Chain A
Amino acid sequence: MNGARAHVLVCTGAGCVASGAHAVAAAFRKSVVEHDLGGEVDVVETGCLGPCAVGPVAVVYPDGVFYQQLTPDDAREVVGEHLLKGRVVDRLVHREGEGQAGIPAAGDIAFFRSQTKVALRNCGSIDPMKIEEYIARDGYAALARTLAEMTPQAVVEEITASGLRGRGGAGFPTGVKWRFAMSADGERKFVLCNADEGDPGAFMDRSILEGDPHSVIEAMAIAGRAIGSGQGYVYVRAEYPLAVERLGHAIAQAREYGMLGQDILGTGFDFDLEIRMGAGAFVCGEETALMTSIEGKRGEPRPRPPFPAQKGLWGMPSLLNNVETYASIPPIILRGADWYAGMGTEKSKGTKVFALAGKVKNTGLVEIPIGTPLGEIIFDIGGGIPDGKQYKAAQIGGPSGGCIPRQHLNVPVDYETLNELGAIMGSGGLIVMDEDSCMVDVARFFLEFVQEESCGKCTPCRVGTKRMLEILERICKGEGVEGDVERLVELGERIRDTALCGLGQTAPNPVLSTIRHFREEYDAHIRQRRCPAGVCPELVRAPCQNGCPAGVDVPGFVSLVGEKRYAEALRLHRERNPFASVCARVCFHPCERKCRRGSLDDAVAIRGVKRFMVEQEDRPNVPEVRADADNAKRKVAMIGAGPAGLSCAYFLARLGYRPEVLEAEDRPGGMLVQTIPPYRLPRKHLEREVRMIQKLGTKIITGRKLGRDFTLQELREGGYQAVFLAVGAPQSQKLGVPGEDLDGVTDALRFLRDHNLSGRSEVGRRVMVIGGGNAAVDAARTALRLGAESVTVAYRRTREEMPAYAEEVDAAEAEGVEFRFLLSPAEVVGNNGAVCAFRFRSQIPGAFDSSGRRRPVDSGEPEVELPADMVITAVGQSLPAGEYFDGLGVKLDRRGYVQVDPDSGRTSIDWLFSGGDAVSGPASVVEAVAAGERAAEGIDRYLTGESHAFWREERQVDTFFDPDADPAEFARARAEELSPEKRRRGFEEVEIAWGEAVAVREARRCLRCDYGKDG
């Protein structure tokens, strides 16, 4: 760079060029001239800076201020403000989240801060069209040293000692490869560069060629010297015109400067380079296919051995490395092997470039020391998952790679670990997927890619991957059959074992790895004809309905509300879920999370529409019941009158059964009445729906507790042909800290039950709630309403990681509940046998645990003691199995819950079915409803030999919809609530239903994803 006072480095990587970088650079230049800053400010077009998602980007030096998403107008503003007046344009700098403070300095942005750039050292710092700038950054010094001071052996030893491994995919030790090529005999030898980057989403090689082409040229010359070769070829795909142009320009310049050609640097060493363009066949990234292609033949692999180092291009010994590998060579020569080997892990040294793509906030190129945990790449550098969605998996290594699920977020990203998990480093493509990705569909996508890119030479790859693809396509269409997964695994393993080249051998990886980590998703497609992520079109009528555990026809009832046909809407809802009124109040609405309108502006407020709908029920709305004399005689019992037990009874009653529900407490409703506070669910609404179920022929017998008043065996002996066990998970878990037995310590279930069932209202002055789930929040808000002066919820993780529904947490906070995070319970401090304080160890987020969250670890800071005279623990619930299954041998899962067949709810005992929290652990109301429905169908099938679940048949509602009309333009309607002050004073319902105008308008925001799909 020249003596200018300031430099504007405008990224002109292909990504930024595509988003308009040239116009931005031109605007900078023009504006600099207009402001008469010509001699003072230099505008430089550089290679890729990395954060492609926010391009065009530029950095202004010497301040190092990073500007993003620039337009030509913005460029003029930066010149006028920043370069002329010295004021950073805050509007254009990076910020980590919406509404957060801007971070002007590139070095302060997490995306840049966590990186270590070796291969990308010059990308974004120099003008790739000027060899002088490369030379100014020590360019060609490594070549000079190689020629002047080092023997070929010494060069190879240096590379070997650095631990550098092939960055193109397989990670073969580069030094070993060089040594083979060096010691091979041949009348000519060739140095080859693989720039046939083909993994979807990976573009690091392109960026290096575009941003720092001389680093590759220099390294290839070094390699030529080391192995005794005078000619090199760079094999670039023709789809990279900018890379070809800049590399071609750089080669010409290097020749001009005597860095290529005859007698390089006067040492007598001759070496020259040529570019060979490929037509973009993925398989040409395989080394033997690449060489075959350079030879002018159809790019197909040939058997190895002989390896390229023995017989490569035109049968001559050849050394082949990829772009990124070469780009790492000059710094290794200059700074020494020890420096390079000081980064990375024991077996995987140095740095690796990744192309972050998919559902991650900061997409783009990042270079990091190998061994960095995956979670850090995604959450620290990548900024995490956008739109509040959950991380599901990272696909690493392109089509040959595999998926890494949540439970392995903490693994170090190195060659060995990735292999163990069924993925590969590959060229460094890293595609992040969130909960909306269907892993079967992902596997299908990658397999389709490799099948189309297979050269078709060997049988396993040509036909085998096709057969696998066909099986996957069937599964995605809901036509999978039992045994398909096993067939995929068997075929996949055979293909891996027998295919000719790396492409075929790794082609099954995406399938095998998704089966390994997401088997249940395959099973859902095959057994339940369900795509849990809501992706596979044949299995998904509408994503909202698909996302509803109970399968409620959401677009159906919403559109009926839109036409003011409320009774029909409600009836449609109750086809699949009797608790419309309950769910309108307490459901955590997974449907809204999946709503496609969400990608347009905001999801339809489905629960709000539903709330309005249930308010319109004047006469009890009963569903269709099919009387059946045989079923009426069959004795069936439900144990537990919670949402699962009552739903099961509801659906059986609709088939003509006369189910009996045995309830331990003296009021039906289970958790709906015992723990969910009335300010969320006023009791009369629950009672109305319970009455409706009774009216269908269900008998509820209260005060009958399993294990106390009767046993399962007795029921059986009493003539019950099938029993549905829905007892929930009513036992609270202990904290396991000293002082837990002090007076004033209770658990959330007991506290809420006491209040809700017995009306007890004793509460402390200073209440400390321990836990982060919904029970904790319910207890806290109840305590507040009962008159506590202060209520604090202490949770050992962070707010984002709380299992409680975010809207509940927000509401509690608005009411005055204090939340403290990263506090781990240490001791309940007592005074005279009563609680007086709670002591915590303060935590910091540590490594990612198997739940995909950062495990809290002691921060090392002093313990925190908070005053409290009442402690409510809410740290988990369990099933007291011993009380229930006296000697019956019911199988439990590892967590101690009942193990059932997911389709029918059947336990290991043929007449015993189970569902709800007893099976899943604490979960939502709608999941319990769904479990009850499944068990009802399962019991009916068990007793009659066939399924009669008529409510499962989908019907297109006859509401009007114009598919050509633009979506209604209203914004999402907000929920109306009582003011926090009013709320605190009592147990009045917090949420207020909308008026008709608002509800109908909101309903019309629906995009009708179900349109044209009948069932």
Chain B
Amino acid sequence: MPKLRIDNVEVEVAEGATILDAARAAGVRIPTLCHLPGYPAQGACRVCVVEVEGAKNLVASCAAPAVEGMKVRTTTRRVREARRTVVELLLSDHHGDCQTCERNNDCELQALARELGIREVRYAGQKSPARRDESTPALVRDTGKCILCRRCVQVCAEVQGVGALQAQNRGFLTQVGPAFDLPLDSVTCVQCGQCSAVCPVGAIFERDQIDEVWAALENADRHVVVQTAPAIRAALGECFGYPPGTLVTGKMVTALRRLGFDAVFDTNFTADLTIMEEGTELLTRLKRKLVEGRDVPLPMFTSCSPGWVKYAEHFYPGILPNISTCKSPQQMFGAVAKTFYAEKLGRPREEVFVVSVMPCTAKKFEAGREGMNSSGVRDVDVVLTTRELGRMIREAGIDFAALPDGRMDSPLGLSSGAADIFANTGGVMEAALRTAWEIVTGRELPFDNLHVAPIAGLQGVKEAAVEITGTVPDWGFLDGVTLKVAVAHGLGNARKIIERVLAGEGDYHFIEIMACPGGCIGGGGQPRMTDDSVRAARIDAIYREDEGKRLRKSHENPDIRTLYEEFLGEPLGEKSHHLLHTAYAARERI
């Protein structure tokens, strides 16, 4: 427990803490730029330098360990001028059209320049080339804005294990991007958008599709419906200054209505539907394996996370048969809206326009995947991220805080608490278990408040095992079977589980994978900056939403029952199969 002095404030910190940690503990603010809390320090930007007594040079506080007896100064002229020089140098190589930048007023570089009182960039010179990469449906890269802090590189390689972005070339020509300067759509990028969530400037951001939504809303021939993913309601408030974890479901619904959507629905509805389909799929696979002795791909992996699906297609094509064939809730919603709902409405499916609001950039990619048009038209027309919705509301001049609470429309607006928890890691698994368990045993899942505690929380890889006893007659073959499940979030953790499975360790039956750390609540399209405390707050809010619901299990959702009765028939039935399921294909691994 080293004790040290920072600007004459004595502070004691844990072993292994950095000077930056110590400063924060001492209430001393040190500006940072390349630093990502919770990940190994890179020491790249040099904005956080401080003076340490006895050290020859200034020290990067994000990387330097706090040492017993250390004396640190953070406000001296030497420190201030060094920081200022570093930021001036960054600005000198930055195409800084702030007023029209996607990150205007939400930019860490801009904020730093203001904080350090920079009024002039004394070191003008050549700038790195500004090229825009708009090759993917999800993300836009603008090299002219990039300040090479490498947070995206770190997240893509170390958190996601994808490594689609990396530093290339040397010296001033160094740039961050896909290998060989290829466009993003021709490398292994899974479009999870975690890069865009950590980018401090406007160098990587979601493709902005607000105008496409406005155009649809203004088109009298269109019936525009919107679905919002469960993770939105726990994060959208952050766009308007609410603390992370504030639930704004009601205000969100009102805002969407004021924007002009003809119907405000909920992706939760199809999350419940997903549980019906996916739960049945799992039980079917188990039955074929255990009863019929057929060679069925097990364990089964969840399929709701499009970043994860694309990751598997690139890196582990061998396990594609193990991934549930269920479309994600977003796509199921689109398919149902363009068929069941359109029929109910009495309008041709072409006139129904589906907008989804997702915490995720990969959803933009998913909406355009092959096969996502089983009704004959695209399931989902436009995907907005949480950040885009925030901007759209602001653009419309809506005073979000002053909005009254609204309620989702029927029939695609009713959902169970099980659907809510799709938003966070462990949630899909828990939702599936709530239903599957009850189908198999006729009893409620034997966990406190229906929460499967071992697979909740932010630990990277989680697992649980439940012995099935007292089955209903149809599922007797499962009696005595210990159901083994595992959960991973963040693709780096997914890799760990897959490697374990491929190595024959951990004979799981069902594995939930979400591409982003924390699950969808930590998605690449969520308000920035998402760290573990923010993730925890959002997860907490999601569980509150779940627990506040009368319906807690997907199979109890009466509108889902109606949907099956009136339209789909039965889970995994022919119509479901046609509308709600899809296929995967291996992709190149550059």
Q: How far is the CA of A467 from the CA of B167 in the complex (A)?
A: 21
Nearest neighbor of A496 in chain B, beta-carbon distance: B57
B170:A498 contact, CB within 8 angstroms: no
Residue of B nearest to A494 (CB): B85
Distance between Cα atoms of A496 and B81 in the complex (Å)? 13
B85 near A498 with CB under 8 A, answer yes
Interface presence of B100 (CB below 8 A) = no
| CB of B60, distance to nearest CB on chain A (Å) | 6
Chain B contacts for A454, CB-based, 8 A: 170-172, 174
A451 pairs with B167, CB closer than 8 A: no
Least CB separation from B45: chain A residue? A459
Is A212 engaged at the interface, CB distance under 8 Å to the other chain? no
Whether the pair B58, A497 counts as a contact (CB closer than 8 A) is yes
Q: Give the residues in chain B near A306, CB-CB below 8 Å.
A: 65
**In contact, B89 and A463 (Cβ under 8 angstroms):** yes
Q: Is the CB of A491 within 8 A of B123?
A: yes
Interface residues of B in 111-130 (CB under 8 A from A): 122-123, 125-126
Q: How far is the CB of A39 from chain B (nearest CB, A)?
A: 56
B89 near A455: Cβ-Cβ < 8 Å: no
**B89, A467: Cβ atoms closer than 8 Å:** yes
How far apart are the CA atoms of A303 and B45 in the complex, in Å? 12
Q: Which residues of A contact B125 (CB under 8 A)?
A: 466-467, 470
In the bound complex, residues from chain B placing their C-beta under 8 Å from that of A498 are: 46, 49, 57-58, 82, 85-86
Interface pair B170/A281, CB less than 8 Å apart: yes
Q: How far is the CB of B63 from chain A (nearest CB, A)?
A: 3
A302 close to B43 (CB less than 8 A): yes
Complex CA–CA separation, A470 to B167 (angstroms): 23
- Contact of B171 with A453 in the complex, beta carbons under 8 Å: yes
Q: How far apart are the CA atoms of A305 and B66 in the complex, in Å?
A: 11
Decide if B173 is an interface residue (CB 8 Å cutoff): yes
Docked pose: A465 CA to B172 CA in angstroms: 8
Residues of chain A within 8 A (CB-CB) of B45 are 458-459
Residues in A255-297 with C-beta less than 8 Å from chain B: 281, 283
Do residues B86 and A456 form an inter-chain contact, with CB atoms below 8 A? no
Within 8 A of A (CB), among B26-67: 41-47, 49, 57-58, 60, 63-65
A459-B46, A487-B122, A498-B58 known; A451 vs B172 contact (CB < 8 Å): yes
The answer, among B43, B63, B148, for a CB contact under 8 Å with A462, is: B148
Tell me which of A298, A462, A496 contacts B166 (CB under 8 A): A298
Question: A499 in the interface, Cβ–Cβ < 8 Å?
Answer: yes
What's the nearest-Cβ distance from chain B to residue A184, in Å?
Answer: 15
Asked whether B90 is an interface residue with its Cβ less than 8 Å from the other chain, the reply is: yes
Q: Which of A488-506 contact B (CB under 8 A)?
A: 491, 494, 496-500, 505
Cross-chain contact of A458 among B44, B92, B166 (Cβ < 8 A): B44
Cβ of A462 and Cβ of B172 under 8 Å apart?
Answer: yes
Q: Which of A300, A451, A465, A498 has the most CB of B within 10 A?
A: A498
- Given A298-B167, A305-B64, A456-B174, check contact A497 B78 (CB 8 Å): yes
- How big is chain A's contact interface, by range? 20 to 34
**Knowing A303-B64, A494-B81, A500-B60 touch, does A464 contact B167 (C-beta < 8 A)?**
no
Interface residues of A in 452-486 (CB under 8 A from B): 452-460, 462-467, 470
Q: Do A466 and B126 have beta carbons less than 8 Å apart?
A: yes
Contacts of A464 in B (CB 8 A): 85, 89, 123
Docked complex: B156-186 residues within 8 A CB-CB of A: 166-167, 169-174
Interface contact A457-B44, CB-CB below 8 Å: yes
| CB-defined contacts of B42 to chain A, threshold 8 Å | 302-303, 457
Task: Report B51 CB to chain A, min CB distance, Å.
Answer: 9
Whole-angstrom distance from the CB of A95 to the nearest CB of chain B? 45
Q: Are A499 and B169 touching (Cβ within 8 A)?
A: no
By secondary structure, the B interface counts as loop
Q: Known contacts A298-B167, A300-B167, A455-B170; decide if A500 and B123 are in contact (CB<8 Å).
A: no
Could you tell me if B46 and A500 are in contact, using CB atoms closer than 8 angstroms?
yes
**How many chain B residues have a CB neighbour from A under 8 Å?**
38
Residue of B nearest to A300 (CB): B167
Q: How far is the CA of A306 from the CA of B18 in the complex (A)?
A: 12
Which A residues are CB-close (under 8 A) to B86? 459-460, 494, 498
Residue B93 CB within 8 A of the other chain: yes
B166 to chain A, nearest CB (A): 7
**Residue pair B57, A457 in contact (C-beta under 8 Å):** no
Neighbouring A residues of B92 by C-beta, 8 Å: 463, 467
Residues of B within 8 A of A281 (CB): 170
B251 CB–A CB distance under 8 Å = no
Separation of A775 and B57 alpha carbons in the complex (Å): 54
Task: Out of A302, A470, A494, name the residue touching B82 (CB < 8 Å).
Answer: A494
Could you tell me the distance between the alpha carbons of A454 and B172 in the complex, rounded to whole angstroms? Answer: 8
Assess whether B150 is interfacial by the CB under 8 Å rule: yes
Chain B residue at smallest Cβ distance from A463 = B89
Taken together as a complex, chains A and B put the C-alpha atoms of A305 and B46 apart, in Å, by 15
Q: Which A residues lie within 8 Å of B170 (CB)? A: 281, 283, 452-456
**A499–B174 alpha-carbon span in the complex (Å):** 16
In the complex formed, the residue of A with least CB distance to B174 is: A456
A676 to B170, CA, bound (A): 60
B44 to chain A: which residues have CB within 8 Å?
457-459, 500
How far does the Cβ of B72 sit from chain A's closest Cβ, in whole Å?
Answer: 15
Known: A298-B166, A454-B170. A303 touches B63 (CB 8 A): yes
Separation of A974 and B141 alpha carbons in the complex (Å): 70
Bound together, the chains give a CA A496 to CA B58 distance in angstroms of 9
Contact of B93 among A298, A455, A463 (CB under 8 A): A463
On whether the beta carbons of B57 and A505 are closer than 8 Å, the reply is yes
Cβ contact within 8 Å between A459 and B172: no
Q: Are B172 and A458 in contact (CB under 8 A)?
A: no
A467: B residues at CB distance < 8 A: 89, 92, 123, 125
Q: How far is the CA of A148 from the CA of B150 in the complex (A)?
A: 51
Give the chain A neighbours of B43 by CB distance below 8 A.
302-303, 458, 500
Q: B166: which A residues are within 8 A, CB to CB?
A: 298
- CB-CB < 8 A to B150: which residues of A? 457
Residues of A within 8 A of B126 (CB): 466, 470
Which residue of B47, B85, B171 is within 8 Å of A466 (Cβ)? Answer: B171
Expressed in whole angstroms, the minimum distance between the Cβ of A561 and any Cβ of chain B is: 46
What B residues does A302 contact at CB under 8 A?
42-43
Chain A nearest CB, measured from B397 CB (Å) = 39
User: Which residues does chain A contribute within 8 Å of B85, judged by CB atoms?
Assistant: 460, 464, 491, 494, 498
- Which of B57, B81, B82, B123 lies at the interface centre, i.e. has the most chain A CB atoms within 10 A of its CB? B123
Cα(A303)–Cα(B59), bound, Å: 10
- List, in ascending order, chain A residues with CB within 8 A of B60's CB: 303, 500
B 305-322 to A, binary, CB cutoff 8 A, 1 in contact else 0: 000000000000000000
Q: Which residues of A contact B148 (CB under 8 A)?
A: 456-457, 459, 462
Are B89 and A451 in touch, CB under 8 angstroms? no
Q: Which residues of B contact A283 (CB under 8 A)?
A: 170
Contacts of B90 in A (CB 8 A): 459, 463
Q: Which residues of A contact B173 (CB under 8 A)?
A: 456
The chain A residue with its CB closest to the CB of B175 is A456
Q: Which of B58, B81, B123, B167 contacts A456 (CB 8 A)?
A: B167
- Chain A residue at minimum C-beta to C-beta distance from B81: A494
Shortest beta-carbon distance from B480 to chain A in Å? 43
Interface centre among A302, A459, A464, A491 (most CB of B within 10 A): A459
Bound-state Cα–Cα, A307 to B399, Å: 54
12 A-B residue contacts at CB 8 Å?
A283-B170, A303-B64, A456-B170, A457-B174, A460-B86, A463-B93, A465-B171, A467-B89, A470-B125, A494-B86, A496-B57, A497-B58
Instruction: List 11 extra interface pairs beyond A454-B171, A499-B46, CB under 8 A.
Output: A298-B167, A302-B42, A306-B65, A455-B167, A456-B172, A457-B150, A458-B44, A464-B89, A464-B123, A487-B123, A497-B58
Closest 3 CB pairs of A and B: A456-B174, A303-B63, A303-B43
A residues near B (Cβ < 8 Å) are 281, 283, 298, 300, 302-303, 305-306, 451-460, 462-467, 470, 487, 491, 494, 496-500, 505
